[in-house]
Amino acid sequence: MSSSFFIKKKGNPKIMKQGKNTVGPKRKGDGDLGKSSKVPLKKPSRHNEEISSDSEPEGPAAPRKKASNEEQEFDETPQEKKLRLAKLYLDQLKEEEEKKAEDDSFETDLIAGRLQDEVLEQKGKLQRFIAKDLMPPDASDIRLLRGHKLPITCLVISSDEKYIFSAAKDCSIIKWDVGSGKKLYTIHGGRKGTEDRHVGHTAHILCMAISSDGKYLATGDMNKLIMIWEAETCKHLYKFTGHKGPVSGLSFRKGTHDLYSASHDRSVKVWNVDENAYVETLFGHQDAITGLDSLSRECCVTAGGRDRSVRVWKIAEESQLVFHGHEGSIDCIQLINEEHMITGADDGSVSLWSVNKKKPLSTVKQAHGCHGDVGLEQPHWVASVAALQNSDTVASGASGCSHNSQVQLWKCGEKYRRLDPLFSIPVCGFINSLKFSSSGQFLVAGVGQEHRLGRWWRIKEAKNGIYVIPLKRKPPCPEEATVDE
């Protein structure tokens, strides 16, 4: 510390400005004693004599007023001034060290908190409780983005929440700006035989995925193809072939460029996008796979459609866990965290699962109600589900008549053993895809006049588009605000 005393960069600018002239302001008579005959030399006194300013009147001592700062500085000797500046400098260093120690302590606590969250996330035990604060959005705040000519089949949101990518039965892919709602890029497709006019798909696109770093976008279609795109520019990079049926599910492993794909050919394939390489194929389902999802572990989960099974695939071990619970075709699946997932089926039910239990932890039958004549009621199909990762909030989308299709939000009870309805948002059409933004600020629904997997019936009143639904939060009550402070 003593060696850094003379480094001007670390000092207080005001202090160093004063200390530039180390000998202090020149006082009347300094350096001229003995040279000028006009300044008389005083006789030495028996007592230590105090040196006073020249402006002080001679004679009897008058009441002395408190000296100003300027006078105090004027009265300093060079040694006193050096001592004062040194003391100020040391005090400043001490303050800086204390502040640094506080900042380091705060940063250490922050890092420790993040590490703890990461450990809980890996164990599937991290649960953010936000459902209790959510409120139904105002209808005027919901935005509809239109650009596709045919029903939306799938969509994804970039991890920075700036962009939405959507695909449809018209074989096109659109990149949207979330803030403005404008189209940034359109990758056109067309019917088979039009490949010389575009680089896009030539069949209905059924699924898509984006890597967690936002580098790659993957899309799969009815023609058994997987296309890889550069997400930033929408430039076509690779084409993966190998599936023998429509590609119905895609997911990038979080933090990597490993891609998992699922198909109606009942297989799961693993690809390495960086190397433009196929890795392996896994078999097990007895019917067409309708959905797939993954997080950061080296595994993925799939919905097996009419084989009514959910499977957890352990890629490294080349093994699988089989789960049963729904009575109908399981058409959609989403991981909530590493150990819990949500599924939806065409029997109208929504189920919560743990990877450690072969049966659902909770099931809500007729989650979106029924339609049809009395005595012949049929539940509305659950066409899509979404989960706000590591939270207690999930959503499901129904495919029903024009007047009662809706997005339903749910609260997961303690330890995911219960599903409680929060509120519903009316949306006209087949809700073919649902995604939460990573922060939970909004929910996006891909809607069409038809179901993404077929054309069983059509809702003419529906609009093929993307609904951006803001998720409002209740203002904190005064007691909570006081506690937080």
Domain ranges of the chain: 1-24+69-123, 131-480
Q: Which of 418, 415, 408 is nearest to 348 (CA)?
A: 408
CA separation for the pair 369, 350 (Å, rounded): 12
**Residue with more model confidence, 415 or 477:** 415
Lowest-confidence range among 10-19, 286-295, 358-367, 436-445?
A: 10-19
CB 252 within 8 A of CB 258: yes
Residue with tokens 């995911």: 416
Confidence at 287, pLDDT banded by 50, 70, 90: very high
Tokens representing 94 are 């001490």
Say what percent of the chain tops pLDDT 90. Answer: 59
Buried b (16+ CB within 10 A) or exposed e, 102-132: eeeeeeeeeeeeeeeeeeebeebebbeeebe
* Amino acid of residue 271: W
Asked if the model's pLDDT at residue 426 lies above 50, the reply is: yes
Question: Which of 101-110, 181-190, 275-284 is least confident?
Answer: 101-110
Report the distance separating Cα 269 and Cα 235, nearest Å: 24
User: What residues pair up with 434 in beta bridges, in sequence order?
Assistant: 445
DSSP states along 384-448:
EEEE-TTBSEEEEEEE--TTT-EEEEEEE-GGG--EEEEEEEE--SEEEEEEE-TTSSEEEEEEE
Q: Which residue shows structure tokens 């690779």?
A: 238
Look up residue 124 and give its two tokens.
């599937």
Give the pTM.
0.73
pLDDT at 301: 97
User: How many helices and strands, by DSSP H and E, does the chain display?
Assistant: 4, 32
CA nearest neighbour of 220 among 236, 243, 237: 243
Evaluate if residue 332 carries a pLDDT over 90: yes
Least confident among 114-128, 268-282, 286-300: 114-128
For the stretch 213-255, pLDDT in tens is 999 999 999 999 999 999 999 999 999 999 999 999 999 999 9
Nearest to 367, CA basis, from 406, 315, 337, 401: 406
Mean pLDDT of 102-131: 67
Q: Taking 90 as the threshold, does the pLDDT of residue 190 lie above it? A: no
pLDDT confidence bin for 256, thresholds 50/70/90: very high
Give the total residue count for the chain. 485
pLDDT at 67: 45
CATH code that applies to domain 131-480: 2.130.10.10
Identify the pLDDT of residue 33: 41
Q: CB of 67 within 8 A of CB of 75?
A: yes
